[in-house]
Structure 1
Amino acid sequence: MNHVSLNVALYGPQARWAMTERGRGAVERDASNLVIGPSAVTWDGEALTIDIHEGDTRLFVPWQRKVTGRVRVYPEALNRAAFALDPKESHIWHCLAPCARIEVEMQSPGLSWSGKAYLDHNRGAEPLETGFNTWHWSRAHLKDGALVCYEGERGDGSLFASALRFGADGVPEPVDLPPIAGLPDSKWGINRRTRSDIGVAEVRRTWEDTPFYARSELASRFLGEEVTAVQESLDMRRFSSRLVQYMLPYRMPRRKA
């Protein structure tokens, strides 16, 4: 509660990145509301509304550009089952809405769109860098539901991997893992991996490329369907390096309110 932030990442010609950390004095929450400084997240039983009032952060740039607007996420189905990512259940992943609709209305920068969305949640009893060395995650909307693949290496060196198909009702069903599809390393040298029916996938765009994390759009094939997938790869060993730890405060400044 003393280290809270709202992360906003906009890609494209008007790209913005906001992730300002705030202390417990700037945070309020109850069952349906979370207030983080000037921004807020609210659930009304139908949609998750994210009111954004932030400033962007850029390495070694002292001034901020406004990042303001409203995002509304409408789950098409809700999943109540959460999954442990380790035997001690120190890390829990919950895919709340495998399929959802999104409406984005940004004032600064001036952008708006609507489309498909996804909503999940992670929580843990220890730092991520303690529990994991690496992970690879991908998800894709199907004609009827969605497929999510999750795999990686835990901090103790053990491996985990799973594939879940979510039906239109949001209920998860384990399915056989598709074959591994290797991807080219990111520009920062992050090893990327996904799954595909034919063991082949194509990187269409890399949206985020950092020293320890990469997020990409893929062309892939799941359960016999040609799909557009979102994929991420995370390297917590890189995250823990001295260089990255030195850079983090420039990308994630701390504010009192």
Structure 2
Amino acid sequence: MTDRGSAALRQTRHSLTVGPSSLHWQGDRLVIDINEISAPPVVSRVRGQITVMPAALTGVELPLTPDGTHVWRPFAPTCEIDVDLDAPGWRWQGHGYFDANFGTRALEQDFDYWTWGRFPTSQGSTCFYDATRRDGSVLAAAFRFSRDGSATAITAPPKAPLPRSLWQVRRETRADAGFRPRQVQNMLDAPFYSRSAVQTCLDGIATTGVHEALDLRRFRIPLLKPMLAMRVPRRAHWSFD
């Protein structure tokens, strides 16, 4: 991830370009072209293409705060993807999703902690959003998405603990009563954030999906933001010229 200035942005109805990378719709497929340099400690070229093939697009929006300062938008919670990056072993196909978060305030202004998970099912996918807001109120949302894009709010199964991350970020997800979820693969580990592949059990069926845990109390620590700038460098003067 790289922060860039407005001169590095181009947008049309069907495409978005940020610096040397871009994404555009090609029929019913979203094609993502990547041309970046990874952050320290391993600095290397990250180049290639990812193709996202949604089963369907949704019109679902979930306000994460009562006043709508934060919104989750699952554009396509059930997708097939094709990853083709220019590195040995970085070519694979599988299931995925396409979503985004929007907000008019900084996350740490409104939240102390949240977890999110998206798990594939035979009918489509199931998503869980749990959050503790700074005012002490909580969000506990669960949705089942069919392959046609229709969404149904469901009663979430019980919370189940996961082992803490390498940076000791507290983690939990949802699972059938009595089942203990486990991490299958670590994806990203930071002092305030964890992303991983997690196996859980929903309605008696084991499923492995993407899980994240975000500790905004840690993120508010003044020392952490300069550290984040090392991992997300700023290229304020990049342009297409």
1:207 is aligned, of 187, 197, 201, to 187
Q: Does the residue aligned with 1:242 lie in a helix, a strand or coil?
A: coil
Q: Which whole-Å CA distance do the structure 2 matches of 1:38 and 1:216 have between them?
A: 27
| C-alpha distance in 2 between matches for 1:101 and 1:41 | 16
Which residue does the alignment assign to 1:250?
Answer: 230
1:30-55 CA-partner distances (Å, limit 9, x unpaired): 22111111111112341111110100
Question: Cα offset for 1:217?
Answer: 1.5
Identity %: 39
Q: Deviations over 1:202-237 (max 9, x none)?
A: 222222111010012222111232111221100112
Match of 2:210 among 208, 230, 250: 230
Could you say if the C-alpha distance between residues 108 and 205 of structure 1 is closer, same or farther in structure 2, counting changes exceeding 3 Å?
closer
Quote the offset at 1:70 in angstroms.
Answer: 0.6
Partner amino acid for 2:183? Answer: V
Gaps of 5+ in 2: none
1:242 alignment partner AA: P
1:108, CA displacement in angstroms? Answer: 4.2
2:147 and 2:87 map into 1 onto residues whose CA distance is 35
Paired residue type of 1:210: A
User: Distance between the aligned counterparts of 2:31 and 2:88, measured in 1?
Assistant: 18
Equivalents in 1 of 2:89, 2:19: separation in Å?
22
> Which whole-Å CA distance do the structure 2 matches of 1:158 and 1:251 have between them?
32
**Residue 112 of structure 1: how far off its partner (Å):** 1.0
Does 2:153 align with 1:171?
no
Q: Taking structure 1 as the reference length, what is the TM-score of the superposition?
A: 0.88
Counterparts of 1:36-185 in structure 2, within 5 Å, are 36-59=18-41, 64-108=43-87, 111-185=90-164
Q: Match of 1:193?
A: 172
Alignment match, 1:220? 200
Using the alignment, how far apart are the partners of 2:210 and 2:106 within structure 1? 25
Is the partner of 2:67 in helix, strand or coil? coil
For 1:35, the aligned partner's letter is: T
Q: Scaled by the length of structure 2, what TM-score is found?
A: 0.93
RMSD: 1.4
The superposition leaves residues 181-215 of structure 1 with CA deviations (integer Å, 9 ceiling, x where unpaired) of: 01111121101010001242122222211101001
C-alpha distance in structure 1 between counterparts of 2:197 and 2:83, whole Å: 19
CA distance in structure 2 between the aligned counterparts of 1:205 and 1:81, rounded to whole angstroms: 29
Amino acid at match of 1:151: D
One-letter code of the match for 1:53? N
